[in-house]
Structure 1
Amino acid sequence: MSEKLLVRRAAVLGAGVMGAQIAAHLTNAGVDTVLFDLPAKEGDPNGVVIKAIANLGKLSPAPLAGKSLAGRIVPANYDSGLELLRDCDLVIEAIAERMDWKQDLYRKIAPHVADHAVLASNTSGLGINALADVLPEQLRHRFCGVHFFNPPRYMHLAELIPATATDTSVLEGLEAFLTTTLGKGVVYARDTPNFIGNRIGVFSILSTIHHTAAFGLGFDAVDALTGPLVGRPKSATYRTSDVVGLDTMAHVIKTMADTLPDDPWHRYFKAPAWLQALIDQGALGQKAGAGIFRKAGKEIQVLDLEKQDYRPADKDAAAPEVVEILKTRNPAEKFAMLRASEHPQARFLWAAFRDLFHYSAYHLADIAETARDVDLAIRWGYGWLLGPFETWQAAGWKQVAQWIAEDIAAGKAMSDAPLPGWVLDGRDGVHGADGSFSPARDASVPRSSLPVYRRQRFPDPLLGESFPQGETLFENDGIRLWTDGDGIGVASFKTKLHTVSDQVLDGLQEAIGIAERDLRGLVIWQPKEPFSAGADLAGALGLLQAGKVDAFEAMVANFQATSQRIKYALVPVVAAVRGLALGGGCEFQMHSARTVAGLESYVGLVEAGVGLLPAGGGLKELAVRAARAAGPGGDVFAELKSVFETVAMAKVSTSAVEARESGLLRRDDPVVFHPHELLHIARQQALALAESGHRPPLPERAVQVAGDVGIATFKMMLVNMLEGRFISPHDYEIATRIATVLCGGEVDRGATVDEDWLLRLEREHFVALAQMPKSQERIAHMLKTGKPLRN
């Protein structure tokens, strides 16, 4: 059993962009965090840190999961605050990448670090053992590298780099903390420059730069080829460089050149002349407004090296015949076609993949324990669908290895370094049912058996990995209900984007019936994001356009019946939410006994954006919650003000924390940081509710409402917005109807109504809006473009 790392309080040293964001993410996770930097030259000695904390609110994407969390970070400085370190269980150093500065800081803090605390450096490439040289003996076994990727809240990868003296128990405790508390995917890297992610990732960019020039391609063409067409992010290669910052790119390249003199590819570790020229002009990429790409008005322009100027970027720069090759489903056929093609774009792609495979195989033994670590580091750190070894194995290991060897022999590869012997030993790949290949052990190594990984029922699968799918209890075209035999059923939607169709509604009601009869609880969970993009708009619009208003009304009634079935189920129904939970998806989780939400949950009742109002019981539920919060005889209207704005403006939360603050999640709904632990935690919640004698709530028969006075007050606010042209007349129509339902209709202020009354109001106003031409235009526009129409 590995030792637990108990972190009550943490310290981050260095309030630069990275340090401040690491402190923010620790705070997101509920860790009391102190952020240190140099004392300010004038004013408050903690001024540098106070300014950095204030700056967190301006960054996009937001490092903090909720705005109020900024006030929780404790500012400190190295002159007067070092005593605060004595209470810290984890200290993360994140100052500038200079060995001498880091070592000076270690000497300064060492006397103040507690005897049990772990010290970690968030260096992106400096030697961990070299850093450890200045530490006192008693601290060395508690020191290692932890490299977060930027931005730390959103990037899944954290590289863990042991020093020679680091205790195994320290590493295992830190790995469990990074995984569950901070939600990271951990890979172990050897103490080599740039570790795994940036060593392979930056080489891939360097080889792409080399081959861009060799095949005479434009930067826009290369980005068109190296993005989603090959399973990589939309920002592809050069746009990614702009986002990272061209100065940062040049710095990383220089680090590789300085620290890897014996690398057989060393001659390519230099920034090309055009990159240096852009940096000299201050065109550093996105942060400077111009880099390899720039925006001129609405037009995206790209640097043209021949013209020495920008030209309009061609978004269709990938040649149609090469796009056809890349659409080939069979990877072996695809690579054979790329290699055989005479088209410069196809030859470019083959060359870039060949050199990436060659480099990854050549260096695997010195940078990582297994091929799994390399593939996961690249997937989690760079957002690729498959890592380099997975891509190679999918394309046919032996054949591709033979082609690489032929190209090396023919002098076509970037380096003449030989492929390692294991590549050509007759194997079919590096990943198999028994694990992933480790050159050091000359064997396949299974996944880690640390207790923390038992919480992941479905870890991120590598090529060829599969996990048992559980026993199917019920299935229709909308959902599948399955169990692992623990008494908890799991219902997953089968529709695209997990939208709610008639089959999903009927399937959920069936699943709840089975759970009540044969199980102890039910979890609604999707194997992949999103949780649910809401109602099936296309089906709804089809009914309306065919004039089938009765069928449309029946669908709305069935939606409400499903929500009520969730709420009043005799077994606890727990919603496990991550990604988008919009409209009906949001309403289902509002009716569940509990929601377990991944940190990156984007929750909202967005129907107003498509000309409708929430009618799956969402407005009813908000009215009930407002009455409950106000208490008997209390001011219900005051409780409705903020939720009205959230619904009428179709706001979507930017995190689960924000969804709790806006009232779309409950205060006691747990927030989970690791997406692959979501199912485990949801099932544990369902079991705990069942164990503690869960009963559904009693029906809401006396809900106090804001009534006609509440509606009139909302209308006054809306008239001002209409006259000021902040909203259109149709926005006014929708918002008035939302206000009417939330306030319980035209009844006296303080009157009581029951749930059925509120549900009927929802239905009536929903159906009325849906029949209006302007609402139907909004629905059609959303289906066609994916964007809301303001008409």
Structure 2
Amino acid sequence: MSQTKFIVRKVAVLGAGVMGAQIAAHLVNAKVPTVLFDLPAKEGPKSAIALKAIEGLKKLKPSPLSNKDAVNFIQPANYEEHLHLLQECDLVIEAIAERMDWKTDLYHKVAPHLGANTIFATNTSGLSINQLADGLPAALKPHFCGVHFFNPPRYMHLVEIIPCVGSDAAMLDNLERFLVTTLGKGVVRAKDTPNFVANRIGVFSMLATIANAEKFGIRFDVVDDLTGPRLGRPKSATFRTADVVGLDTFAHVVKTMDDTLPNDPWHGLFKSPEWLQKLIAAGALGAKTKAGIYKKDGKQMFVLDPAKGEYVGSGQKGDDAVKDILKIANPAEKFQKLRDSEHPQAQFLWACFRDVFHYIAYHLGDIANCARDVDFAIRWGFGWSVGPFETWQAAGWQQVAKWIAEDIQAGKSLVAAELPAWALQADRAGVHFADGSFDAAGGKLVGRSTLDVYQRQLAPAKVLGEANAPLGETVFENDGVRAFTTGDGVLVVSFKSKAHAIGPDVIDGLHTAIDIAEARFKGLVIWQTEEPFSVGADLTSMMPAFMMGDWDAIDATVRRFQDTSMRLRYSQVPTVAATQGYVFGGGCEFAMHCDKTVAALESYVGLVEVGVGLLPGGGGCKEFAFRAAQEARGDVLAALKDYFMAIATAKVATSGQEAQEIGFLRKGDPVVFNSYELLHVAKQQAIAMAEAGYRPPMRGATFPVAGRAGAASIKGQLVNMLEGRFISQHDFFISGLIADVMTGGDVEQGTLVNEQWLLDLERKAFMTLLKTSKTQDRIANMLTTGKPLRN
């Protein structure tokens, strides 16, 4: 008999602190009704603590909530009045403070109220799951495990699942399915060792960086300049990351390592440095208290100088010679140069890499099930673009292993522990291979998880060394796009341009792909192999015509852009856009013209052309006017106003769900929480439409516009904004043109027009703006600085 499906109808989160409240927020983002518990309040309503936490979620930036209504589905509760609600919950996540005694007390309180099949998980960043399980009634142990969300839970991809000795295997699989598909997470199963995988290695890496910065005398701001994006790591790099996490939190994790890892050869390193203890004692805990390792005074940034014990002006950068080494594309050459250089900053960087490699090789067998889990944990939990084992393997495993061993012999490494024998095998090429990643405890390669939920990931996250051939079979390719199929009758198109900008090659490629799809396939999906979906039109490709004042050529380009949007709308096969990351300008217009958009939750969607002094010229203004006419119950202007404001203020939706609220996406467009499932869902949508006997909409339909009177009404409001100095004179001019286009031009209110009428108005207004000096200044500023100019 087949196993019954595990359905999560409701979840309870115990503990309304920072993590508990934000986990609850992400659950309701995913349409999972959630009960948020905390202690009964001393005064006022009994659930006041949970109520306050729910209110607090509305103020946080970046927002833990992906749409404004989600928060209404978090039910506040307290342990005195509401324990009976636990019986209705399929999953209960405990997220109270990291104290073993408090947690076990709570377990005894809630255990009698849990349903027979409820999964009970503790969200802890480092306490022993088996020790916590010891405090549970025997019947509950099979349903218990650790689950470690990373902060902030909506945005961090990693969740670690930590089984205890008695955890039921089917229960763990069910939890993983839920975390992966419903909440969109990357799951790593960790062993029950202190701080698990990501924090153990990520925090070690920070401690090693701090120790080496002291050893080589490198200033904290210079460390951050060298250990951020230059190494493929977040902008917050090392010390700013500690400020963002909270120096007290960082010190707590370090103390956990100090208390629980007495036999770790690196134990001497697991201490908060004296300067850190002083900052914490002074209440300077980082970003949350406005001062930590860094502090801002007016416009000036200061950074701690630990030797002087005072703040000094911040902003020093790494040495140019060292930054040049970091730019070298070949990893083997880059590491050779870092190691050979006499420059203290280069020696510092080599030492940081070496000490992390040393640590992960030594501990791989006892902390992780295989090397892949280490790399994914660090990529997803700490935001590194490449994991530590991948970095080592790319630089030449044996050469780097030899260097590490030499440094250990010479007493240069942090500790004298030997590299494990497996790392020094004469024939070892690395730890990641086409058929699996190395498991040091078992001495074997471990393949990918075979759990059914991963069948939905047609292009899963890969580690270096796995088979990395392009997906599917290429059907057509030019300089702008690759169109391929995976054999299910759907043609998938991916852009090859930088940031998937839309230039002539992409447009030509899309037209050809639509021709091929109409002739041979059931449907067409636009999907990119990585973020973003598209930053919009490639303005650089227009520059030659622009410099020569060849307006006819530019007019023809804009017309071609509009034609592409209209082909996506009226092709003979269903078209689906699969979006993630930025969906801006022309990319947004293409998505709006497809039959359906399947959006990853983290899709940031907007018609942002005003930022470069233009208006949407690829059908965006037309499409919003068309939608307003369809939605209007007699009053087109009322339906149009919000759409007009979205374009005039370059409003960007900060999630797929918000894009539906604003109207960039349709109400029925699916929002997918795991971006690795995007292509699967988009193709299924295309197939479903084809199977239902798809026919394109009828072309040439007419619809009413708001006309001159509508434009005058909108412009009246713009005058107020101009006089109140909310917009510049040029913004006023651009907005007026947008109003003219969206209301149908110089016609009576209620006049029936067709799409082509509005497209022609849109293109004419676009060309008018392009010829103004202020728009030309905005474009030049965007192309040179990447920032919008407000002139």
The yes-or-no answer on 1:739 pairing with 2:739 is: yes
CA contact (8 A) 1:541 1:776 kept: no
CA contact (8 A) 2:615 2:738 kept: yes
Match of 1:568 among 549, 563, 570: 570
What is aligned with 2:159? 158
Aligned pairs for 1:399-438 (under 5 A) are 399-426=399-426, 427-438=428-439
Give the distance between the partners of 1:710 and 1:40, measured in 2 at CA.
54
CA contact (8 A) 1:242 1:284 kept: yes
* TM-score, length of structure 2 as denominator length: 0.98
What is aligned with 2:593? 591
Give the distance between the partners of 1:142 and 1:327, measured in 2 at CA.
49
What is aligned with 2:66? 65
Percent sequence identity over matched residues? 61
Q: Which moved more, 1:591-600 or 1:349-358?
A: 349-358
CA contact (8 A) 1:66 1:658 kept: yes
- The CA deviation at 1:223 is 1.2
* Partner deviation per Cα, 1:649-704 (whole Å, 9 max, x = no partner): 00111111111000110000000111111011101111111111111111242211
Give the distance between the partners of 1:298 and 1:478, measured in 2 at CA.
43
What is aligned with 2:697? 697
Aligned pairs for 1:365-376 (under 5 A) are 365-376=365-376
What is aligned with 2:616? 614
* Partner deviation per Cα, 1:571-592 (whole Å, 9 max, x = no partner): 0010000000111100000000
The yes-or-no answer on 1:106 pairing with 2:107 is: yes
CA contact (8 A) 2:275 2:309 kept: no
1:549/1:240 CA distance change after superposition, 3 Å: same
- The CA deviation at 1:539 is 2.5
What is aligned with 2:639? 639
Q: Where do 5+ consecutive residues of structure 2 fail to align?
A: none
Match of 1:511 among 498, 510, 513: 513
What is aligned with 2:544? 542
Secondary structure in 2 aligned to 1:561? helix
Give the distance between the partners of 2:75 and 2:571, measured in 1 at CA.
45
Aligned pairs for 1:68-467 (under 5 A) are 68-316=69-317, 318-426=318-426, 427-465=428-466, 466-467=468-469
* TM-score, length of structure 1 as denominator length: 0.98
Aligned pairs for 1:661-676 (under 5 A) are 661-676=661-676
Give the distance between the partners of 1:409 and 1:310, measured in 2 at CA.
38
- The CA deviation at 1:52 is 0.5
CA contact (8 A) 2:484 2:491 kept: yes
- The CA deviation at 1:2 is 7.1
- The CA deviation at 1:299 is 2.4
Q: Which moved more, 1:53-62 or 1:463-472?
A: 463-472
Give the distance between the partners of 1:536 and 1:80, measured in 2 at CA.
59
Give the distance between the partners of 2:235 and 2:682, measured in 1 at CA.
33
Aligned pairs for 1:549-560 (under 5 A) are 549-560=551-562
CA contact (8 A) 1:479 1:494 kept: yes
Q: Report the AA paired with residue 72 of structure 1.
A: F
Q: Report the AA paired with residue 458 of structure 2.
A: R
The yes-or-no answer on 1:30 pairing with 2:38 is: no
The yes-or-no answer on 1:523 pairing with 2:536 is: no
- The CA deviation at 1:425 is 2.1
- The CA deviation at 1:462 is 0.4
CA contact (8 A) 1:2 1:172 kept: no
Aligned pairs for 1:477-496 (under 5 A) are 477-496=479-498
Q: Report the AA paired with residue 662 of structure 1.
A: I
Give the distance between the partners of 1:305 and 1:425, measured in 2 at CA.
42
The yes-or-no answer on 1:21 pairing with 2:22 is: yes
* Partner deviation per Cα, 1:476-498 (whole Å, 9 max, x = no partner): 11111111121100111111111
- The CA deviation at 1:331 is 1.4
* Partner deviation per Cα, 1:255-278 (whole Å, 9 max, x = no partner): 110111111111111100000111
CA contact (8 A) 2:614 2:769 kept: yes
Give the distance between the partners of 1:671 and 1:314, measured in 2 at CA.
41
Match of 2:604 among 602, 605, 610: 602
CA contact (8 A) 2:459 2:471 kept: no
- The CA deviation at 1:39 is 1.1
Give the distance between the partners of 2:32 and 2:166, measured in 1 at CA.
27
Secondary structure in 1 aligned to 2:652? coil
CA contact (8 A) 1:457 1:676 kept: yes
Match of 1:472 among 471, 474, 483: 474
* Partner deviation per Cα, 1:400-456 (whole Å, 9 max, x = no partner): 212222222222221122222211222111111110001222111111111111111
Give the distance between the partners of 1:35 and 1:207, measured in 2 at CA.
38
What is aligned with 1:756? 756
What is aligned with 2:787? 787
- The CA deviation at 1:12 is 0.6
CA contact (8 A) 1:5 1:170 kept: no
Give the distance between the partners of 1:424 and 1:540, measured in 2 at CA.
55
Q: Report the AA paired with residue 605 of structure 1.
A: L
Q: Report the AA paired with residue 574 of structure 2.
A: P
* Partner deviation per Cα, 1:325-350 (whole Å, 9 max, x = no partner): 22222212222222222211111112
- The CA deviation at 1:395 is 1.5
* Partner deviation per Cα, 1:101-157 (whole Å, 9 max, x = no partner): 111111000011110110101000001011111222221101100100000000010
1:467/1:163 CA distance change after superposition, 3 Å: farther
Give the distance between the partners of 2:91 and 2:544, measured in 1 at CA.
58
Q: Where do 5+ consecutive residues of structure 1 fail to align?
A: none
Give the distance between the partners of 2:559 and 2:767, measured in 1 at CA.
11
Secondary structure in 2 aligned to 1:612? coil
Q: Report the AA paired with residue 621 of structure 1.
A: E
Q: Report the AA paired with residue 675 of structure 1.
A: S
Give the distance between the partners of 2:556 and 2:256, measured in 1 at CA.
65
- The CA deviation at 1:770 is 1.1
Secondary structure in 2 aligned to 1:205? helix
Secondary structure in 1 aligned to 2:365? helix
The yes-or-no answer on 1:48 pairing with 2:49 is: yes
Give the distance between the partners of 2:344 and 2:788, measured in 1 at CA.
41
Give the distance between the partners of 1:334 and 1:2, measured in 2 at CA.
52
User: How many residues of Structure 1 are paired with residues of Structure 2 in the alignment?
Assistant: 788
Q: Report the AA paired with residue 727 of structure 1.
A: I
CA contact (8 A) 1:227 1:236 kept: yes
Q: Report the AA paired with residue 222 of structure 2.
A: A
What is aligned with 2:579? 577
Secondary structure in 2 aligned to 1:287? helix
Q: Report the AA paired with residue 21 of structure 2.
A: A
